[in-house]
Structure 1
Amino acid sequence: MGGGAETLLNLEVNSSIPICYGSSFGPHDELILLEVDDALLPQFLDDRVVIRGEPDEEAVLCTSSKTYALKFVSTSNSVFLVPPKGCHSVGAETETEIDVTDSAASVVKLAPGHMELMLVAPKLEKLKTLLKQRVYKGDSDDCESDSKLGLYTWQDLADRIQASDDELRDGLRAISAVEIDGYWRLVDDGLMEDLLTMMFRNLDIHGWLSNALREEEVLPVMVDDGYSPTLVLHCLNTNGSKEEKEEGHVWCLNERIVAVFYGRRVLGRCGKRKEVDFMEEWKRTVPSGIDVSMGMLEGEVLTEKIGVDIWVRGFSVSSLPSTPAERFAALFRERQRWEWQHLEPFIRDLSVPGLSSEGLLMKYTRRTQPTADAAPIFSAR
């Protein structure tokens, strides 16, 4: 009988085969055992997984839709690696056939343990930092420099961000990034405000309905006003939703999203001020016909009562770290104690596989409640 791995796999019950150390036995650091769930195995066999991470990072394994941490697990048992008969050594400068005798299974390595996969959240923190290097402020601004420094293609980002392709797309969508001339960019808020204001001006001029904007009508007009089709479609996509109808692509602007955008712009300009003054300016700034309320700005503003007045200032969840430990640390640096109604908007987007929102609170906060009917207070653990 042959002595390769095939023999061991086909070994009958209550039978045996001699095992020996082959002449190629050694550490073979290039060979690592990896335990894979049956559901993931087809993606490995079809070459649909990738290891991602830069030299100073712990590597992760990504499928098309999920990210997994790689964890080494030691074992007290002796695990012998026996290659198939006729197998060639891996990683050698010159390939040599590994000896496998007919009378014994030839061992090439004693494995001290194996790697396990643990589902984790994607590491998207670096994404916004990279794209902020060259915020898009218009074609004229880009023309001033031929350098591609600070510009990133999809592949550039995939090589640097520890996330699956699906998670990376979601991350780009969450920060309102857009692909312009092959590079993914963040659009300057001032440029986006000008574009949005012009779009609503054209709504009045041409009698368009904000909930029924025909793409074939909107694009030519906005292009004539000096905006590229890519940027106009990005504005529509960021501030609304698209439907496929007989007359073509029809967009519906989300007035709440538009109102929040203008609210953030006012908060960014005014700093800390009385709520009543902020509301007056916000109402003046938003396009005509759009109603505003403080409830729209959950996760975008902090309020504080000083005397008889309520003061507000910008504090956006989008500016906070995406990892739970760093997120809670930042929140408790801002305030030592949080009521749940004020804390919840700033942790709503946190997602950790295997850990619920309640679990996150138990891990990172200390909850106090003076009386049964009092609102719970959360402080740092």
Structure 2
Amino acid sequence: MKLVETTNLQLLVRPTQQDEQEKPSATPPGRPRGMSQGLQTQWNSFRTAEESAPVVVSATSTSHIELVEVAPRLAPLRQLLWQHPYGLQDEQVAEEAGPAAGEDGDGQEGGGDDGPQRKRRRTGAGGGGARGYTFEELLEVVQASPEQLLAALAAEGALLLRGRWRAVDRTYLGELLEHLLLAAEQEGMPLTGLREAPLAASLRGDGYHPAVVAHCLGVYGSRVLEEQGDKEQGDKEQGDKEQGDTGRQAASTSGAGGSVAGVWALDATKVCIHFAHKVLSSGSNGGGSGGLGLALGSGRSMGLQEFLALWGRAVPEALQPQLGLDLLRAETLVEGTGSEARISSFPSAALPSDPAQRFSLLFTVRPRWAWTDLEPFLAGIKVPGQSAEAVLLRFARASQATPDSPLMYTAR
């Protein structure tokens, strides 16, 4: 809101009964709305003005208030969500209540074949207990509309559990994705037709809450229309019949329950990006990607060729054709060329949403940017009424060494 003063004095009058009666006929039939009345009509109005009641001025005004759309201020949201991210400790709390809920919590945490996997998941951070914030509580703290807040929660990968919103520890969520991929392979499901119910039942034995499994599917994939899911399911059932394995498939079909929400397709790009960050963070101390989102600079810089080889081995075979550095334009920085090129993690999702803070960080990391390198990191800038390019000109200046050279951007 801003107050705008005017040089002219405005007189505010109440509408009269005669004005209300003449209002419907203010625009004669056939005349476009907004067109001025003819001279004869105005003259007739002036002639009858003397017979009308005097106009009473109720108030005067020398200013008015304008509402100007501004970008939402989402910095407090990120801080609140990542105070106590959902992780392994919350899983352990659920396991302690397992017997009351029909779960064998102690058995799952103990030895057996799942022992090493459970121990590996302990690297996640997370917080215990019923933490988080309701949507109304977040709306009171964050300057944003309800629609903008929902979009920001989705962008942060927030989890809605028991009516409260929380972030999910990145290490924990990534390992859940890998368990999900393994379970899908064991169930014989294609990555474009994952059935939520059987996967949640399979991962329940590892201590994963069904709501968290559904959240993981939503973060790394999208819902599939039931018609498409049924087609894929039918093709798979035919293949299982040929292999004499219809029993397991029937259980999977009944678990979906015919719900549209029960079929998911993984996004190949998001899955490949997950494994890229995992490879880059393999040499970091303390797992920098487990806390506040994907921490900038977490992990290590490594040779580009070495990274490509490790990345190719980490990604599931079905996604191998999708691999390419174009997938990582907004996720990594590549320095150098040829055999000397090195790559490091630099996810745009972890950059500040405030334009001034974002550009300050970008030019701190790299004083000079080519447009092709800078463009992917401008996608998260949202300023009402301005494009990302217009905002760029406020914080950066462009220059060319020669007329044939590409534009380079430096801080103002």
The normalised TM-score by structure 1 is 0.70
> Which of 170, 187, 200 in structure 2 is aligned with 1:206?
187
Q: Match for residue 236 of structure 1?
A: 217
Distance 1:120 1:223 in 2: 44
Residue 154 of structure 2 is aligned with which of 173, 194, 201? 173
Instruction: Give me the whole-angstrom Cα distance separating, in 2, the residues matched to 1:225 and 1:375.
Output: 53
Query: Offset of 1:141 from its aligned partner?
Result: 5.5
- What whole-Å deviation, never above 9, does each CA across 1:139-178 have from its counterpart, x for those lacking one? 2466785574xx2110111111111111111111111111
Deviations 1:79-115 (A, max 9, x none): 567899xxxxxxxxxxxxxxxxx999586x7655322
Instruction: Write the distance in 2 (CA, Å) between the matches of 1:147 and 1:200.
Output: 28
Q: 1:243 to 1:204 in 2, by over 3 A?
A: closer
Give the aligned residue type for 1:268: S
**Aligned residue in 2 for 1:72:** 3
Q: Which residue of 2 aligns with 1:265?
A: 278
Query: SS of the residue aligned with 1:290?
Result: helix
Q: What SS does the corresponding residue of 1:118 show, helix, strand or coil? A: coil
The aligned counterpart of 1:359 is 390
In 1, Cα distance between the equivalents of 2:384 and 2:54?
Answer: 49
| Cα separation, 2, equivalents of 1:208 and 1:263 | 24
Give how far 1:370 is off: 2.5
Is 1:296 the counterpart of 2:309? The answer is: no
Partner of 1:282: 311
CA distance in 2, matches of 1:345, 1:360: 14
Query: Is 2:74–2:353's contact at 8 Å kept on the other side of the alignment?
Result: yes
Shift of residue 203, structure 1, vs aligned partner:
2.1
Of 372, 375, 400, which residue of structure 2 is paired with 1:369? 400
Residue 235 (structure 1) shift: 0.8
For residues 215-254 of structure 1, the aligned pairs below 5 Å read 215-246=196-227, 247=230, 248=258, 249-254=262-267
The TM-score, its normalising length taken from structure 2, stands at 0.65
Structure-2 change in CA distance of 1:221 and 1:308 (3 Å): closer
| Match of residue 3 from structure 1 | none
Match of 1:187 among 162, 168, 187: 168
Alpha-carbon displacement from aligned partner over 1:61-88 (angstroms, at most 9, x marks no partner): xxxxxxxxx112223444567899xxxx
| Number of matched pairs | 293
In structure 2, distance between residues paired with 1:197 and 1:307: 32
SS in structure 2 at match of 1:303: strand
Instruction: Give the conservation status (yes or no) of the 8 Å contact 1:203–1:209.
Output: yes
How many angstroms does 1:308 deviate by? 4.3
Judging changes above 3 Å, is the alpha-carbon distance between structure 1 residues 317 and 118 closer, same or farther for their aligned structure 2 residues?
Answer: same
Aligned to 2:348: 317
Worse-matched range after superposition: 136-145 or 156-165: 136-145
Q: Which amino acid aligns with 2:335?
A: E
**2:75 match:** 125
- Measured in 2, the distance between the counterparts of 1:203 and 1:171 equals 30
State whether residues 136 and 142 of structure 1, in contact with CA within 8 Å, keep that contact through their aligned partners in structure 2.
Answer: no
- The one-letter code of the counterpart of 1:335 is R
Q: After TM superposition, what 4+ stretches of structure 1 lie above 6 angstroms from structure 2?
A: 80-84
Alpha carbons of 1:324 and 1:163: their partners in 2 closer, same or farther (altered >3 Å)? same
Counterpart of 1:89? none
Distance 1:80 1:265 in 2: 67
Identity of paired residues, percent? 34
Contact 2:305 2:339 in 1 (8 A): no
Give the alignment of 1:85-164 within 5 angstroms: 113-138=63-88, 139-140=90-91, 146=129, 148=131, 151-164=132-145
* Letter matched to residue 284 of structure 1: R
Give 5+ residue unaligned stretches, structure 2: 16-52, 95-126, 231-257, 284-299
User: Closer, same or farther in 2 for the Cα pair 1:72/1:377, shift >3 Å?
Assistant: same
Write out per-residue CA displacement over residues 315-343 of structure 1, whole angstroms, 9 at most, x where no aligned residue: 11112111222211211111111011110
**Equivalent position of 2:99 in the other structure:** none
**For 1:318 and 1:188, how far apart are their aligned partners in 2?**
15
SS of corresponding position for 1:200: helix
Gap runs ≥5 in structure 1: 1-69, 85-101
